[in-house]
Structure 1
Amino acid sequence: MTRAEIFDKIADIIADRFETDRDQINEQLNFKKDLDADSIDFVEFVLELEDTFNAEISDEDAEKLMTVGEVVDYIVAHQTEDK
């Protein structure tokens, strides 16, 4: 899966979960500052990412993910070879 495809899937999830205009989502978007996401919102988002990308994101790693770009980079780096 390409980086652009991963970004598109993540942006769709964010638009749906955080009720945000899809056109406003970019890689600099910050979950806490721009989306006002609380810890429960973010945990649910991470769980959805894990399901969507068949990935495991540790709590320690999730705490470091502040922007959409960081999430995309993380998924790109942790893709399984058989995808």
Structure 2
Amino acid sequence: MDRAEAFSTFSECVAEVLDIDTSEVVPDARWREDLDADSLAVVEITLALNDAFAIKLPDVEPEKLTTVGQAFDLVAALVGVDN
């Protein structure tokens, strides 16, 4: 899996949980301000990503991952895809 494929899977998971179009899931999008993701949605997204990538995302302070890109970088590192 390359980075583009990983981001595609990532964005599909996020879009499904938030009931939005995948085109809205861009690296610069902010979770709360742009995507209206509350804390429950973040938990649901985490579970969906764990399943989709067969990983276990660590507990992270929400304020440290404010954008989609920051969260994707964490997932990409766990999956082992290059920047």
Unaligned runs of 5+ in 1: none
For 1:62 and 1:48, locate their aligned partners in 2 and report how far apart those are by CA, in whole Å: 18
Structure 1 residues 27-79: Cα deviation after superposition (integer angstroms, max 9, x where no partner)? 111111111111111011101111111111122x2623221111221111112
Per the normalisation by structure 1, the TM-score is 0.81
For 2:7 and 2:15, locate their aligned partners in 1 and report how far apart those are by CA, in whole Å: 12
Query: Relative to structure 1, is the Cα distance of residues 54 and 8 closer, same or farther in structure 2, using a 3 angstrom cutoff?
Result: same
For 1:10 and 1:79, locate their aligned partners in 2 and report how far apart those are by CA, in whole Å: 11
How many correspondences in the alignment?
Answer: 80
Select between 70-79 and 45-54 the one with higher mean Cα deviation. Answer: 70-79
Runs of 4+, deviation exceeding 6 Å: none
**Structure 1 position 11 matched with structure 2 position 4:** no
Q: Secondary structure at the match of 2:33?
A: coil
Query: Residue 31 of structure 1 aligns with which residue?
Result: 31
Q: Which has the higher helix share?
A: 2
How far is the alpha carbon of 1:23 from its aligned partner? 2.0
**Structure 1 position 54 matched with structure 2 position 54:** yes
Per the normalisation by structure 2, the TM-score is 0.81
Coordinate RMSD, CA, aligned: 1.9
